[in-house]
Amino acid sequence: MPRLIKSAPGLPPAALADVADTVQVMLARLKTGGEDTARDYAQRLDGWTGEIVVPPEQAQKAGKDLSDALKQALDYAHDNIRRFAQAQRASLRDIEIELHPGLVAGQSSLPVGAAGCYVPGGRYAHIASALMTIATARAAGVPHITACAPPRRAPDGTAQGIDPATLYTMHLAGADTILCLGGVQGIAAMSYGLFGAPPADVLAGPGNAYVAEAKRQLFGPVGIDMFAGPTDVLILADATADPALVALDLAGQAEHGPTSPCWLITDHEPLARRVADLMPETCARIDGENGATARAAWDAMGEIILCNSREEMAAESDRYAPEHLHVQCTDLPWWQARLTAYGSLFLGADTTVAFGDKASGPNHVLPTGGAARYTGGLSVHKFLKTVTWQRATPEALPALARATSVISRAEGMTGHALTAEARLATLTPRACVANES
Ligand SMILES: NC(=O)c1ccc[n+]([C@@H]2O[C@H](COP(=O)([O-])OP(=O)(O)OC[C@H]3O[C@@H](n4cnc5c(N)ncnc54)[C@H](O)[C@@H]3O)[C@@H](O)[C@H]2O)c1
Ligand SMILES: [Zn+2]
C-alpha cells in the first residue's frame, strides 16, 4: 500500500458557487448589452477605458521594444509549437471506403470557421499561451482566429493595453482579430461575435476560474477545448533521481498559484525525506512573491507518496491522472509503455516540465484535476470536425434499401421505410435481377 510521507491539507472550500453565479449574471448581461456591456466590465474589473480592438500594425509595433533575445526565443518556441501542430494535422488522413458495390463512404477533417483564443494575463503575462492556442488553430486551418487578452496594470495600478510581448506574440502566431479584453467579457465577446469578429465556433485557452466557468456555461452553442482548473504536476522519481532537482521541479511548478497541486511519487524513502526537507529552502530560492506562492501551494497542496514498487508507482500515478507527468527514473521505455493517464509526459531528468510550458512543441493547454483519465490536451483536433459522407448508386440499392426498410418497419418508422422503398421502386427490373443474382 502506498504511504503518505507528506499529505496535502488542502484549502478551505473554494467559493465555486459564487463564481458560477457571477459568471451567469455577467453572460446574461453581455448577451443583451453587447459591446457597451463588455466595455463597462473592462472598465469596472480591469480599469480599461481604451480601445478594445487592437489594430494589426499596433500589434506588430509592440515588438520593437522587445529584446532580441526574447524575440529569438519566441521565434524558436513558435517554430516548435507550429511544426508539432502541423505534424498532428498531417497525421489525419481522409478516408474513403467502398462498403459494398455501389456504396461508398468517407470521412474528412474540416476546420471550424472561427476560433476564439483566450490568452490569460492577470497574474503573469502568459506569452507562451498565445503560441499554444493561436498557432494550433492556424495549423488546423481555421480561417478566422480572434484572440483576446486582458489589459495589464502598471505598478501604480493604472490599466495599460495588452502586455507588449503578449500582443506581439498574438500577432506572430497569426491572430486575425485581437481584443484587449479579459475574463468573462473577453470570452463572451469572442463567443457572441462582438467588436467585428465572427462568432467563435470553438473557444480555447487557459484562464482563471471566471474564464473557465464562462467557457463551461457557453458550451453547447459553442465548442470548447476543455474545462480547466488549477494546473498540477506529478513527479515519479526512483533512487537514481537527484533530490535537489526534484525539489526544484516541484517548487518551480508550484509558482503557478496557491491552488496548484504538486505531487511526488517514489519508491525510495531517503529521497522522499530529502525532498520534504529541501522544499522550504527551495521555494525560498524563487524571488519575491513567487517564492511565497510556491511555498503556500506546497504547504496546502503538496504530497509525497511512498510506494513499494515501480508497478505500484505507475498505478498510483494513473489514479492521479496528472496534467504534467515527469518521470525521473531509469528505464524510461518501461514507464512510457506502462503509464496511461496524463496530459503530457516528460521523460527523463533533463526534460523539465517548463520546457513544455514555454517552448518545446507539444501543447501546454492540458487537462487538469484528473481529466487526463478521459482526454488529452489542446491539439489541432479541437479545431477540426470529423465529418462523414456517403454515396449510394443503383447497384447498392437492392441490399441497402431492403435492409433500411426492414429495420425501419421493425422500429415502427413507416416514413423512413417508405423513403427507402421508393428508391427500390426506381430500379429497372433488370437492375434488380442483376443485383439479386
Ligand atoms: N494549464 C495551462 O495550460 C495554463 C497556462 C497558462 C495559464 N494558466 C492559468 O491561467 C490562469 C490565469 O489567471 P489570471 O487571473 O492571472 O488571468 P486571466 O486572464 O485568466 O483573468 C483575468 C481576468 O479575470 C477577470 N476577473 C478577475 N476577478 C474577477 C471577479 N471578481 N469577477 C469577475 N471577473 C474577474 C478580469 O476581468 C480579468 O480580466 C491561472 O489560473 C493559470 O494557472 C494555465
Ligand atoms: Zn508550469
Q: What is the pLDDT of residues 374-414, one digit of tens each?
A: 999 999 999 999 999 999 999 999 999 999 999 999 999 99
Place 297 in a pLDDT band, splitting at 50, 70 and 90. Answer: very high
Poorest-pLDDT segment among 39-53, 194-208, 416-430: 416-430
Ligand 1 pocket residue status of 259, Cβ below 6 Å: no
CA–CA separation, 28 and 300 (whole Å): 35
DSSP string, 372-425: GGT-----GGGGEEEEEEEEE-GGGHHHHHHHHHHHHHHHT-HHHHHHHHHHHH
Q: Strands across the sheet with 344-347, in order? A: 3-6, 302-306, 262-266, 233-237, 324-328, 344-347
Which of the listed residues 162, 210, 233 should we mutate to test ligand 1's pocket, taking the one with most ligand atoms within 8 A of CB? 210
Going by DSSP bridges, is the β-strand pair 384-392/103-111 parallel, antiparallel, or unpaired?
Answer: antiparallel
What's the CA angle centered on 238, arms 232 and 241, to 5 degrees?
85
Ligand at minimal distance from the CA of 133 is: 1
Q: Is the pTM of this model over 0.90?
A: yes
Q: What is the dihedral of CA 359, 360, 365, 371, to 10 degrees?
A: -150
Contact 286, 307 (CB under 8 A): no
Q: Is the pLDDT of residue 370 over 70?
A: yes
E strand intervals along 184-301: 202-204, 223-224, 233-237, 262-266
The question of whether 324 is a catalytic residue gets the answer yes
Contact 237, 329 (CB under 8 A): yes
Q: Determine whether the annotation assigns residue 231 to a binding site.
A: yes
CA–CA separation, 87 and 379 (whole Å): 11
CA–CA separation, 189 and 144 (whole Å): 15
pLDDT (0 to 100) of residue 228 = 85
pLDDT (0 to 100) of residue 14 = 63
What are the structural domains of the chain? Answer: 16-225 (3.40.50.1980), 230-376 (3.40.50.1980), 394-436 (no CATH)
Poorest-pLDDT segment among 10-19, 229-238, 314-323: 10-19
Ligand 2 centre to CA of 404 (Å) is: 54
Write out the three cell numbers for 41: 466590465
Ligand 2 centre to CA of 345 (Å) is: 13
ipTM: 0.96
Q: Is the pLDDT of residue 437 over 50?
A: no
